[in-house]
């Protein structure tokens, strides 16, 4: 076949079938992939499907990819892709903003919030280690906090943040938010805008839903964490780089905040010697907020359709660098 497509880890078979109709597909099975490994595979590839979001697509990789036309993210976060380099080389970078993804991530954020508020994971370990019958007074170690009337502070009231707010409303929580842009529609629904500092001081649960950018990197550090109530929890389903993880670790270790539930980390997979793994007041999941059957299938189909469009010479539907259209047009002249 004329085209070659690299997929960095297996995706839903419905997506693979769509790509296989027009291209030879090479699915790499051993993530996380280093820059050198990706360079080895990408030299004669026409398209790269970047699946997990943790594989770097650097300038060096792009410079080696002489035939590459599209880097298609299987997901919406594209912080690990050098978009400027791709744009310079006339390579599309696309994402998969499917409804199923936003719903899945909002569900997971709420699952984390409920689990940390009600000590579900610790209680599960207690029962399975057969301690329940041994000393029932230990049940009081699992006293939780109710959600009704508590303040949830959402940082980033975008597609996922808004769906988290919908869930919080169902639990009768007070909802406040911080975002780079005010959201009048949400404010009409009773969601209250707060400056970041006030959100940290007032919230019982802080949920992070901003993209990782130059501006949001380490946006939550020692100072912001020091503003939190000692009874407050933090939930991160966005990107690990948004929080200074060492500062968070210290606050959790010293009991300066109640707990954290994290789906994303500064380094993924999280290194086995990371001290955060030892803490009891955390719940950690391996970047699976998006991972439902519905979302996995919808994302695979969406990413495959983007690749097929571009390889057929059409424009993609969800580019993050739309200016590539002009670059391609100038080159053709």
Q: Which residues are catalytic?
A: 239, 268, 287
Identify residues 32-61 at the interface with ligand NAP (CB under 6 A).
none
Is 77 a binding residue for ligand GLV by CB under 6 A? The answer is yes
**Cα–Cα dist 101/113, whole Å:** 18
Min CB(279)–ligand NAP separation in Å: 20
Only one residue has tokens 């380490």, namely 218
Contact status: 76 vs ligand GLV (CB under 6 A): yes
181 binds ligand NAP (CB under 6 A): yes
* 247 token code pair: 């500062």
Choices 7-15, 141-149, 165-173, 233-241; region in contact with ligand NAP by CB under 6 A: 233-241
The token pair at 49 is 């499907």
Kindly state the smallest distance separating residue 259's Cβ from ligand GLV, in Å: 22
What residue ranges in 125-238 does DSSP mark as E strands?
151-155, 174-178, 192-193, 205-208, 233-236
Q: Does 216 bind ligand NAP (CB under 6 A)?
A: yes
Binder of residue 127, out of ligand GLV, ligand NAP, none (CB less than 5 to 8 A by kind):
none
Q: Does 75 bind ligand GLV (CB under 6 A)?
A: yes
Contact 167, 106 (CB under 8 A): yes
The residue of the chain with the least Cβ separation from ligand NAP equals: 158
Instruction: Among 15, 53, 90, 241, indicate the residue that binds ligand GLV (CB under 6 A).
Output: 53
Span near ligand NAP by CB under 6 A; candidates 37-45, 73-81, 111-119, 267-275: 73-81
C-alpha 100, offset from chain centre: 14
**With respect to ligand NAP, which residue has the nearer C-beta, 21 or 215?**
215
Three-point CA angle 247, 200, 227, nearest 5°? 55
CA 225 to chain centre: 21
Q: Which two tokens stand for residue 173?
A: 């929580």
Distance CA 14, CA 92 (A): 23
Identify the burial level of 220 via C-beta atoms within 10 angstroms of its C-beta, where 0-12 means exposed, 13-18 middle and 19 or more buried.
buried
Q: Is 283 in the site for ligand NAP (CB under 6 A)?
A: no
Contact between 290 and ligand GLV by CB under 6 A: the answer reads yes
Residue ranges in contact with ligand GLV by CB under 6 A: 53, 75-77, 101, 290
């Amino acid at each position: 076949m004329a085209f070659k497509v690299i997929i960095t880890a297996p995706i839903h078979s419905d997506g693979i079938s769509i790509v296989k109709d027009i291209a030879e597909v090479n699915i790499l099975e051993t993530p996380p992939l280093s820059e050198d490994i990706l360079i080895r595979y990408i030299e004669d590839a026409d398209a790269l499907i970047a699946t997990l979001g943790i594989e770097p697509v650097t300038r060096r990789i792009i410079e080696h990819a002489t035939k590459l036309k599209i880097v298609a993210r299987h997901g919406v976060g594209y912080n690990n892709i050098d978009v400027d380099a791709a744009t310079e080389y006339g390579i599309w970078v696309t994402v998969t903003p499917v409804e199923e993804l936003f719903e899945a991530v909002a569900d997971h954020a709420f699952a984390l919030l409920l689990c940390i508020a009600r000590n579900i994971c610790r209680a599960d370990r207690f029962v399975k280690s057969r301690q329940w019958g041994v000393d029932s007074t230990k049940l009081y170690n699992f006293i939780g906090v109710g959600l009704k009337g508590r303040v949830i502070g959402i940082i980033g009231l975008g597609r996922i943040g808004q769906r988290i707010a919908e869930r919080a409303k169902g639990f009768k929580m007070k909802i406040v938010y911080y975002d780079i842009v005010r959201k009048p529609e949400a404010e009409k629904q009773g969601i209250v805008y707060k400056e970041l500092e006030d959100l940290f001081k007032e919230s019982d649960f802080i949920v992070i839903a901003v993209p990782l950018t130059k501006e949001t990197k380490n946006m939550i550090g020692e100072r912001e964490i020091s503003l939190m109530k000692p009874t407050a929890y933090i939930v991160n389903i966005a990107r690990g780089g948004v929080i200074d993880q060492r500062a968070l670790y210290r606050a959790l270790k010293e009991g300066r905040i109640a707990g954290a539930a994290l789906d994303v980390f500064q380094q993924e997979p999280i290194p086995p010697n990371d001290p955060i793994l030892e803490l009891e007041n955390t719940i950690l999941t391996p970047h699976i907020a998006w991972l439902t059957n519905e979302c996995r299938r919808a994302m695979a189909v969406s990413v495959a359709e983007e690749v097929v469009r571009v390889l057929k010479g059409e424009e993609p539907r969800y580019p993050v660098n739309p200016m590539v259209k002009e670059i391609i047009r100038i080159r053709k002249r």
